[in-house]
Amino acid sequence: MDAQRLKASFARVAEQGDAVAMFFYADLFVRNPHLRDMFPVGMSGQRDKLLRALGHIVSRVDDLPNLLPFVQQLGRDHRRFGIVAEHYPQVGASLVATLRHFSGADWSEELAADWQAAYGLVAKVMQEAADEDALTSPAWWNGQVVGVERRRFDIAVLRVQPDRPLPYLPGQSVAVEVPARLRHWRYYSMANAPRPDNTVDFHVKLVDGGPVSTVLVRSTQTGDRIRMGAPIGTLTLDESSRRDVLLVAGSTGLAPLKAILEQLVRRPAPPRVHLFFGARDRDALYDLEDLTKLAQRHPWLTVVPAVSDESAGHGFSALLQSGGGEVEHGNLPDVVARRGPWDDHDAYVCGSPEMVGRTAERLTRLGVDRARVRLETYADAQR
């Protein structure tokens, strides 16, 4: 197997972009019509994912130590889609056919052998990781919605009872599928530390035009069923650290940080914790009531709510709004910076990509070691 030859071959094919993935899936479904049902009706997202994954793998094909974890995770991830051993050679055949089709005159017996060997290796690693995972964990968890709280017209807090224990670390998330949008998986963080009754909470914000979030926020009812993949994610508490903690949450980016907060509450001697909870306006601070109660119970916890799109207010409007207590005004990075210094803290940041990026950058400028900042963006993963 010649890594350089593979890379050059893939670079030539990948120049043809979406058409490559289009051909691959059409070829796969013509040869194996029964596989079509495993995919959503709209395939544009799927094609992007395929090309990205292929690009990632090919670019690291000569760097196995870095490639293996990615491929293993890919194998585990595919369990929830119902992928089993027999599917691997079918995918391999269509992949090689696609590469041959787009290589044109550059195709050769040696290249075919290279690709077959590379695919065989990737498929083997994926399958082994999936098989190993299957020893300890199901392909997916079925869950039943046991509580729905609509906190605002576009934000809901759902409580779900999994059909069997769902072990996870606070801060992690699972892919969620609803029956009304089959084959659409979206990641949501568990918003609580693991409970004895195994229930988990999800904070869901309606994304305009988002197929899954719309269903979850607008039409999900108690008793509805959902499916969940295995928990993943690295926005977890650094248990080895004894430093004070700074949590910065934008909107429903609060979910994983609230789980981490609950984990800290259970410590016999929690560190000092500052939780900044930001949104555009006051009524989007959907969980402030609960957070305020927590802060009243625990003197080590300070909760700072912040709104970015509302002025400080005056006259009677200010009087009308005063029910919610004091809030800071401004963007989260600015509000956080005003309350510093933070250079002796561990920081955990979650929210929109823009807010997370700017907060991390600001914290670094304020002297917080970048290695002490853990972050996650919810981006498109929640649509």
Partner 1 sequence: MNSPNLPVVPDGSRLTPGELQAVVFARAALGRRGYDEDEVRGFLQYVERELVQILNERSSLAEEVDRLRTQLSKGGPGVMAPEDAHFQAVRILSQAQQTADLYVADAERYTRELAHEARLHREAILTDAKGRAEHLLEDAHRRAAEVADAAVRSGPPAPVPADAPGTPVLAGAGAPAPSRLPEEERRRMEQEITYLRTYSDVYRTHLRSYLEALLRNVDEWEDSERSSLPPAPRRP
Q: How far is the CB of 27 from partner 1 (least distance, A)?
A: 5
206 binds partner 1 (CB under 8 A): yes
How many chain residues touch partner 1 (CB under 8 A)? Answer: 25
Task: Work out which of 4, 316, 323, 326 binds partner 1, going by CB under 8 A.
Answer: 316
DSSP string, 287-356: THHHHHHHHHH-TTEEEEEEESSS----HHHHHHHGGG---EES-HHHHHHHT---TTEEEEEEE-HHHH
Contacts of 319 (CB under 8 A, 6+ apart): none
The Cα 27–Cα 9 span in angstroms is: 20
310 binds partner 1 (CB under 8 A): no
DSSP string, 42-110: --HHHHHHHHHHHHHHHHTTT-HHHHHHHHHHHHHHGGGGT--TTHHHHHHHHHHHHHHHHHGGG--HH
Q: How far is the CB of 101 from partner 1 (least distance, A)?
A: 8
Range 136-175, binding partner 1 (CB under 8 A): 153-154
Task: Work out which of 29, 81, 107, 300 binds partner 1, going by CB under 8 A.
Answer: 29
Burial letters 161-170, b for 16+ CB under 10 A, else e: ebeeebebbb
Token readout for 383 is: 């649509």
Q: How far is the CB of 80 from partner 1 (least distance, A)?
A: 22
Q: How far is the CB of 50 from partner 1 (least distance, A)?
A: 13
Return the amino acid letter for 79. R
Q: How far is the CB of 320 from partner 1 (least distance, A)?
A: 6
Q: How far is the CB of 22 from partner 1 (least distance, A)?
A: 5
Stretch that binds partner 1, among 130-138, 203-211, 252-260, 322-330 (CB under 8 A): 203-211
23 binds partner 1 (CB under 8 A): yes
**Residue linked to tokens 């990632």:** 56
Task: Work out which of 25, 188, 202, 342 binds partner 1, going by CB under 8 A.
Answer: 25
Compose the 217-256 pattern: x for residues touching partner 1 by CB under 8 A, - for all others.
-------x--------------------------------
Range 78-107, binding partner 1 (CB under 8 A): none
The Cα 335–Cα 231 span in angstroms is: 32
DSSP E strand boundaries for 208-312:
225-228, 244-250, 273-279, 301-307
Task: Work out which of 315, 323, 326, 371 binds partner 1, going by CB under 8 A.
Answer: 315
Q: Judged by CB, which is closer to partner 1: 313, or 357?
A: 313
Stretch that binds partner 1, among 49-57, 121-129, 130-138, 205-213 (CB under 8 A): 205-213
Contacts of 6 (CB under 8 A, 6+ apart): 58, 61, 114, 115, 118
Q: How far is the CB of 155 from partner 1 (least distance, A)?
A: 13
108 binds partner 1 (CB under 8 A): no
The Cα 215–Cα 236 span in angstroms is: 28
| Residues forming the site for partner 1 (CB under 8 A) | 22-23, 25-27, 29-30, 41-44, 153-154, 179, 206, 208-209, 211, 214, 224, 315-317, 319-320
